[in-house]
A and B are shown apart, each in its own frame.
Chain A
Amino acid sequence: MIQKKSPEEARKSLDLIFHDLTRSLRVKDELSRFWLFILIMFCIVGVWAWGYQIKEGLGITGMRDYVSWGMYISNFVFFVAVSLIGLLISSIMHLLKIHWAQPISRVAEQVAIAAVGLAGLIIVMDMGRPDRFLNVFLHGRFASPIIWDVTVITTYLVISLLLFYLPLIPDLALMRDRLKGKIPEIQYKIYDILSLGYRGNAQQFKIIYHSLRTLMLLIIPVGLAIHTVTSWLFAATLRPGWDTTIFGPYFVAGAFVAGTAAVIQVMYVYRVRYKLKNYFNDEIFDRMGKTLVFVCLVYLYFNINEFLVPGYKMKTAEGIHLTELFTGKSAPIFWFTQIGGLVLPILLLLIRYFRKPFPLTFIALVTLVASWFKRYIIVVPTLEHPFLPVQNVPEHFVHYSPTNPEITITLFAFFAALLILTALAKLFPVITIWEYAEHQGIEKKIMFNEYEN
């Protein structure tokens, strides 16, 4: 139990915490301008490429009759996967009262919002006629996993936004109380409005606490659903490599790997950039490293099931597919995803040294890249091996290779996601101040005392 601080001490320490955690709002140097410039430039290029694709049609991509899901859908699955970290850290770990994870719950929510928002957009970008998007809702077939996916992704996005906003309200109130005159008027105005007149009294806090609890419970089924349903987009079809019953849990486990790796990246950047060494401290990195090992082990277990069992039987079509993955054209990517994305992090992160912030971030980056290619390996090779032989079609129908506009649009998603993260970090503290302060033994009375009624 943390020692309660005397009011004097508490005030001082709150000032310090507040100062540190609002640094991200203040940093405005060359580097951040350059970073914004790069992101916006790439986003513009991406949107331009999309415009080109809308004008010319999906024919400008590498997708053809056989491989009709290419990089876009791989990217979509990747982003949905990454977004699932919001469920793990800000709901499950909170409900299990795992205290070390509290400072990163906002990072997790940021990542979740950016990722799931982009996932939705990627789907629209994969449409040949995005202007007919509304038809999905008007004429959708409720028996189709695609409709379920659209439904749960929308729901998950809304819940993630609420899970981001609710714990932010007291922080907004703190900023409203302490930043008047120190930030642009308009920014102050936004904080003032968004803080909903929060004064830290018991009634207000109770509403927030209660709503948060409700959402944390709700997000568990919805979060599991988004990735399970995404896996059904594949598993509900009769194709070698997709026609398996463990796809739901397999995808969920893989999602935790990708999400944990992504959060580690963001944490590290915040730690260095916003001088938050004492907040995203070595202990948190150490524990995130252990978490990554754990989720990788679970995922490895599913991978063994997913490949060993059909590999033992090598049924005709399945056999062609697996041979291609194990020793064929896709083998380099396949083994990179298995080794770089699973074996390597598991082995290395067992060693304490590699769980230090920098080595961990580097290993997690490799894991993250491998996670992306893992989605590619799930989506594309299966489509290259339909049950009926591919005959009498031009060569570029048979093998998929993404085109430049397609790659540009795929990259757009990454830059747009980073832009969202940057904007969120520039506008709001990256750690929940009041929660952190409370953990340091600072009472709510002190945080909001000046305005206690």
Chain B
Amino acid sequence: MKKTIIIGIAFWLAGLSPAFGADNWPVPEEYNVMDNPVEFNNQNVRAGRDIYDKNCKSCHGDPGNYNALPLVPPPPDAASEIMQANSDGQLYYKITIGRGAMPQFETTLGSDDIWRAITYIRRFDPRNEGKLVEEALRKGKIYALVGNYNSTIDIVAEEELTDNNIPLSNTTIFVRAKKTFGNLLVGSITTDENGRASYAIPQDMKVKSDGQVDFILSLNDDFETVTFSVSGVQVKQPDSNVELPRVLWSTNDRTQIWLLFTYFAALIGGWTVIGYVILQIYKLFRLGRNNKP
């Protein structure tokens, strides 16, 4: 009886120990009092969300949904009490240094980005409830033309107000190039006080053999989604040398011809012989029928 109790207690302790470990993550004194230098506003929360989605979500899950990966010890949900019980500085320390399966982000994220991620985590702090008022999205419009012998994209942006449109000054326009899958951010430019900007197309862009690029312009998240495409910009002369080389391991239209030839020659050759033998069997069958005793 005594023995079973002792064993029972031992198991109970053993079961508790990882939980102990998770709670007890010592943070050096100087971090405890650190303050988040990033202002708590919509823009920074949004930036933090992008960082979180890219670097943390795969393990920690969607904040508030408690769908983190089942690791040991478990990654706490961003909205959980465990997470929110940390001070800003403690969060900063834990994210920077890491522990066990929690990676150390010191080497992969700048301190600005870590602070933005913390800002985003703080958005789920009950104490911050109602602090952020989502502003209504603004309505913008972009027009663009290719100028100066295909070396610039000349942009005009304006904002649609209820009664009239005004030039959209000092606003960032993102320039993306269309790829086979998704779009690649190639640069951005800020409009002047007249809502105008001239984006210089980078001359070292990698392009397809026809030398053409489709550009897509867009505004930032403060605006309703709006894009403007400038298609078929002749960035470079068409160049047949850009053609990807044929390599053995590639897709059917890019693999080397001799390989396809060999494969099909062997296939057809082998099956022709098999077909010939089957024909012989058929001949045997015909003979047998004619030979009926």
Q: Which residues of chain B come closer than 8 Å to A394, judged between CB atoms?
A: 70-71
Cα-based distance from A58 to B249 in the complex (angstroms):
27
The CA of A165 and the CA of B292, in the complex, are separated in Å by 21
Contact B276 A143 (CB under 8 A): no
Within 8 A of B (CB), among A273-302: none
Question: If A142-B260, A218-B273 touch, does A196 touch B284 (CB 8 Å cutoff)?
Answer: yes
Contact call B277/A203, Cβ cutoff below 8 A: no
Question: Which A residues lie within 8 Å of B260 (CB)?
Answer: 142-143
Residue from B71, B252, B280 within 8 A of A207 (CB atoms): B280
How far is A299 from B285 in the complex, measured between Cα atoms in Å? 44
Task: Flag if B274 contacts A141 (CB, 8 Å).
Answer: no
Taking a contact as CB atoms under 8 Å apart, the answer to whether A162 and B277 are in contact is yes
Within 8 A of A (CB), among B270-286: 270-271, 273-274, 276-278, 280-281, 283-285
In the bound complex, do residue B259 and residue A142 qualify as a contact, i.e. CB atoms below 8 Å apart? yes
Which of A142, A143, A169, A225 has a CB less than 8 Å from the CB of B284?
A169
- The reply to whether B249 and A143 form a contact with Cβ atoms under 8 Å apart is yes
Task: Give bound CA distance, A169 to B280, whole Å.
Answer: 13
B101 at the interface (CB under 8 A from A): yes
Within 8 A of A (CB), among B220-276: 248-252, 255, 259-260, 263-264, 266-267, 270-271, 273-274, 276
Q: How many Å from the CB of A76 to the closest CB on chain B?
A: 22
Contacts of A196 in B (CB 8 A): 281, 284-285, 287-288
- Pairwise interchain contact B274-A158, C-beta atoms closer than 8 A: yes
CA distance A222 to B248 in the complex (A): 22
Q: B263 near A142 (CB under 8 angstroms)? A: yes
Closest to B254 in A: A143
A453 near B284: Cβ-Cβ < 8 Å: no
At the interface, yes or no: B64 with Cβ under 8 Å from chain A?
Answer: no
Q: How far is the CB of A248 from chain B (nearest CB, A)?
A: 16
Measured in the bound complex, the distance between the Cα atoms of B166 and A316 in whole Å is 65
Identify which of residues 221-265 in chain A touch chain B, using a CB-to-CB cut-off of 8 Å. Answer: 221-222, 225, 236
User: Is B291 among interface residues, defined by CB-CB distance under 8 A?
Assistant: yes
Tell me the interface secondary structure of chain A in the complex: helix
A109: min CB distance to chain B, Å: 15
Q: Is the CB of A143 within 8 A of B273?
A: no
Interface check B37, CB cutoff 8 A? no
Using a Cβ–Cβ cut-off of 8 Å, how many residues does chain B contribute to the interface with A? Answer: 35
Q: Report B183 CB to chain A, min CB distance, Å.
A: 27
Q: Which residue of B lies closest to A222 (CB)?
A: B270
Q: With the chains together, A225 CA to B249 CA distance in Å?
A: 19
Q: Could you tell me if B255 and A197 are in contact, using CB atoms closer than 8 angstroms?
A: no
Contact of A453 among B71, B259, B273, B291 (CB under 8 A): B291
Cβ A143 vs Cβ B274 within 8 A: no
Report the separation of the CA atoms of residues A207 and B288 in the bound assembly, to the nearest whole angstrom.
12
B289 at the interface (CB under 8 A from A): yes
**A187 at the binding interface (Cβ < 8 Å):** no
Whether a CB of chain A sits under 8 angstroms from the CB of B211 is no
B167 at the interface (CB under 8 A from A): no
The contact string, 1 if C-beta is below 8 Å from chain B, for chain A 421-452, is 00000000000000000000000000000010
Once the chains bind, are B248 and A214 in contact (CB under 8 Å)? no
Q: Which residue of A lies closest to B288 (CB)?
A: A197
A151 lies within 8 A of chain B by Cβ: yes
Chain B residue nearest to A169 (CB atoms) is: B284
Q: Which of A129-163 contact B (CB under 8 A)?
A: 141-144, 148, 151, 155, 158-159, 162
Listed residue (B59, B263, B287) with the most chain A CB atoms within 10 angstroms of its CB: B287
Judge if A12 is at the interface, Cβ distance under 8 Å: no
**Pair B289/A197 contact, Cβ less than 8 Å:** yes
CA distance A218 to B276 in the complex (A): 12
**Cβ of A214 and Cβ of B276 under 8 Å apart?**
yes
**Residues in B neighbouring A208, C-beta threshold 8 A:** 284
CA distance A159 to B271 in the complex (A): 10
B130 at the interface (CB under 8 A from A): no
Give chain B nearest CB distance to A137 CB in angstroms: 12
Nearest-CB residue, chain A, relative to B267: A151
Does B21 reach chain A (CB closer than 8 Å)? no
Q: A196-B285, A207-B280 are in contact. Are A142 and B291 (CB under 8 A)?
A: no
The answer to whether A204 touches B287, judged by C-beta atoms less than 8 angstroms apart, is yes
| A162 touching B291, Cβ below 8 Å | no
Cβ of B126 within 8 Å of any chain A Cβ, yes or no, is no
**Any A CB within 8 A of the CB of B293:** yes
Known: A155-B274, A394-B70. A199 touches B291 (CB 8 A): yes
- Residue A210 CB within 8 A of the other chain: yes
Task: Tell me the B40-99 residues at the A interface (CB within 8 Å).
Answer: 59, 70-71
Task: Pick from B101, B249, B283, B291: contact of A201, CB below 8 A.
Answer: B291
Q: A155-B270, A155-B271, A218-B273 are in contact. Are A203 and B287 (CB under 8 A)?
A: yes
Q: Is the CB of B293 within 8 A of A214?
A: no
Within 8 A of A (CB), among B112-134: none
Q: Cβ of B103 < 8 Å from any Cβ of A?
A: yes
CB-defined contacts of B103 to chain A, threshold 8 Å: 392
* Residues on A with beta carbons closer than 8 Å to the beta carbon of B283: 207
* Interface presence of A215 (CB below 8 A): yes
Whose C-beta in chain B lies nearest to the C-beta of A195? B288
Q: In the complex, what residue of chain A is closest to B103 when comparing beta carbons?
A: A392
Report A-chain residues with C-beta under 8 Å of the C-beta of B270.
Answer: 155, 218, 221-222
Bound Cα distance A207, B259 (Å): 35
Q: Verify if A211 is at the interface (C-beta below 8 Å from B).
A: yes
Q: Beta-carbon contacts of A385-421 to B below 8 Å, as 1s and 0s? A: 0000000101000000000000000000000000000
Chain B residue, CB-CB nearest to A147: B263
In angstroms, Cα B252 to Cα A153, docked, is 21
Also in contact, A143 and B255, with CB within 8 A (given A162-B274, A197-B292, A222-B270):
yes
Q: Are A204 and B288 touching (Cβ within 8 A)? A: yes
| With contact pairs A141-B252, A143-B248 given, residues A197 and B287 touching in the complex (Cβ less than 8 Å) | yes
Besides A196-B284, A196-B285, 15 more A-B contacts (Cβ < 8 Å) are A141-B252, A141-B255, A143-B248, A143-B252, A159-B274, A162-B281, A196-B288, A199-B293, A207-B284, A210-B280, A214-B273, A214-B277, A218-B274, A222-B270, A394-B70
23 contacts between A and B (CB under 8 A): A141-B255, A142-B259, A143-B251, A143-B259, A143-B260, A144-B249, A155-B270, A162-B278, A162-B281, A166-B277, A166-B281, A169-B284, A195-B288, A197-B289, A204-B291, A207-B287, A210-B280, A211-B281, A214-B273, A214-B277, A215-B277, A392-B59, A394-B70
- Minimum-distance CB pairs A-B, first 8: A197-B288, A143-B255, A196-B288, A211-B280, A196-B285, A211-B277, A218-B273, A196-B284
Binding site for B on A (CB under 8 A): 141-144, 148, 151, 155, 158-159, 162, 165-166, 169, 195-199, 201, 203-204, 207-208, 210-211, 214-215, 218, 221-222, 225, 236, 392, 394, 451, 453
Taking Cβ atoms with an 8 Å cutoff, the residues of B that contact A are 59, 70-71, 101, 103, 248-252, 255, 259-260, 263-264, 266-267, 270-271, 273-274, 276-278, 280-281, 283-285, 287-289, 291-293
